[in-house]
Amino acid sequence: FWCDDCVSQIPGTKRASYPGPWLIRTYKMAVTKFDVGMTCEGCASAVKRILGKVDGVTEVATDVEAKTVVVTHSDAATAEDMLAKLQKWSQASGKSVALSSD
């Protein structure tokens, strides 16, 4: 069995609250790429903060120069949910956001 500290270090796992602390659930990991009109590290930080709050997101990698965001996530997070969060930021910031075709 894994202790709570070990479970928190395994990407894509969460400790279940019931029936006991030793049960873990493993999620299949996926990668989604977005084209985001980031112009500075402030934009990149905002995108990381927004996407980092989405349940199931385990990593957010931004590239300001290439204007791309690569998100590693479990099945708990969908591309549509993440895109909706980014579009809300887009409306406020005036930056473009789209699901990448790559």
Burial class of residue 2, CB neighbours in 10 A (0-12, 13-18, 19+): middle
Cα distances (angstroms) measured from residue 7 to each of 16, 24, 25, 71, 77: 10, 7, 10, 21, 20
Mean pLDDT throughout 66-82? Answer: 94
Which pLDDT does position 101 carry in this prediction?
87
Which pLDDT does position 18 carry in this prediction?
46
Residues 12-70 pLDDT 10s: 555 554 455 555 555 578 999 999 999 999 999 999 999 999 999 999 999 999 999 99
Q: Is-contact 59 72, C-beta < 8 A? A: yes
The lowest-confidence range among 3-7, 37-41, 45-49, 75-79 is 3-7
